[in-house]
Chains A and B, each alone.
Chain A
Amino acid sequence: MGMRERIIAILVNNKPGVLSRVSGVFGRLGYNIESLCVAETISPEVSRITSITNADSDFIEKVKKQLIRLVDVLDVVELVPGQSAQREMILIGINMDQHNRPEIIEGIGLFDCKIISMHNDYCIIQAAGSREEMGTIINFFNPFGVDKIARTGVVALQHKDSEF
């Protein structure tokens, strides 16, 4: 049925309440927003919302139409892998002890992560890349005792020749 993770980018007027309306459309259709990223674009009056939801193509058509109907929504596009660049950033807080510390440090180097803070028993690292790469990194560090993860959610842009 085509149920898979879908990235939808929505350009909206940068005004209070718009995010609420947009998420209301998803909620009303009974779908969960897996991740959401919103920020100003080059024009400060326009914001870009990048959202991920698990759905089939029928749903995407339905949600696109209901979103474009909203007064403050300017454009809606599904960003398809292969035709778009998709990136995510994560911060991971890891508990360390003298036994696993060397391996953790090795992992940080292996995956090209940045060390944001480092203590004897705790570090916060930053990683950025594709959603799949983030998944791989999290899987690597999990067994060591990951304390918390904060993810930005995916941001994406259509590849060249696209107006979006």
Chain B
Amino acid sequence: MKPLFPKRMNLLPHLALAMLLGLAFLLISGTWYYATPAFWEVGYEPDQPINYSHQIHANKLGMDCRYCHTYVDQSPNANIPSVSTCMNCHTVVDDKNGYLKLAQSTDGTTPSVHWRNPDLQKLREFWAAGESIPWKRIHKLPDYVNFTHAAHLNAGVSCLSCHGRIDHMPKVHQVKSLSMAFCLDCHRAPDKNLVDVHGVVADDGVEAPIWPTDLTTVEATLAQPGYAESVGARLAQQLRYAPPEHCSACHY
């Protein structure tokens, strides 16, 4: 009797197999590329309740990162400043027109902000209510990772190695992937990220590290050709750093 299907249907299983393989390839390569912190998390730039600009404060005004993030060298968490820290400056106005001015800045201009600036208005509302400002968290590691800021700061890792040039960001976004691969890259070869933080030794023998405050200088220093081999290696050897590479260093 006449066959039910035309002969070209014999190709169907081969086609199906090819498409299946193609699909598997797409799924795997897609996951490989897209389902990583480097893709998902780099560039995350949420809206914050108050449009605080690091570019103005940390760059133009030249404030040190640690004026606000005070316990970054003592605590596992780098603390976000309290409202009282902001109000250290923003309670006053300098002239009768309502401007808060600074006489000097890093680019020679006279930066000023007006009392009625809407962000300052929101800040004052939070301060009056005694409430915390609900900042949206940007750099977040999973809960099974235990990361200690203090250990890294005291070893001489600068802020910009992991957070990038925050002082160039009007709105903070994540620049590094902060994946485990990112951490291990440095842990296996820390020399290129170390900055000299030797400081003064106080009377009680406790050394207070000094971090270079200017991220531009730090970036330039780290970018010098041969830095890792010379300065970085010397630092690592003098201080006998051994950044841990075993699992229980961070997962405990």
A interacts with B? no
Enumerate chain B interface residues (CB-CB to A < 8 A): none
